[in-house]
Structure 1
Amino acid sequence: MGIADPCPLPLAITIDAAHGHEDRANARTQLLGGPATAAAPSLLGSLADRHGLAAAFALEPVLIGA
């Protein structure tokens, strides 16, 4: 069993822009993406508790795009 990247397009764009530092770009992408993926459900849940479910669903596409 291997480890798959859940967001291959942002990783591919980052590696393409790295120009000789692909390993470093890959590592930084994974280090930043992991905590963001872990924190997003809690942040959306907190937003839904405070401002309603519609506000959380309205913000979700913005977070996905970011």
Structure 2
Amino acid sequence: MVVPAVPDIEASRNRQKSSRGGLHNGGYDDENYDYILKDGECFNTRYIILTEKPIGKGSFGQVYSSL
């Protein structure tokens, strides 16, 4: 009988968070599970985000100004 290995709990606690500082998705999402966008970030290789704060909120997410 093969017993699967137990994940190292200490290693999962010591994982490095992203520089975005979010609470979910490895630090990339905020407390509402919305992706944290940064000023100047190129999103989907097409849009450049112009502001860090959303300008509004839609039915399915946040609204940002982009170029």
Q: TM-score range by the shorter chain?
A: under 0.3
Give the TM-score of the pair, scaled to structure 2. 0.27
1 or 2, which has the higher helix percentage? 1
User: In proportion to residue count, which structure has more strand?
Assistant: 2
Q: TM-score, normalised by structure 1?
A: 0.28
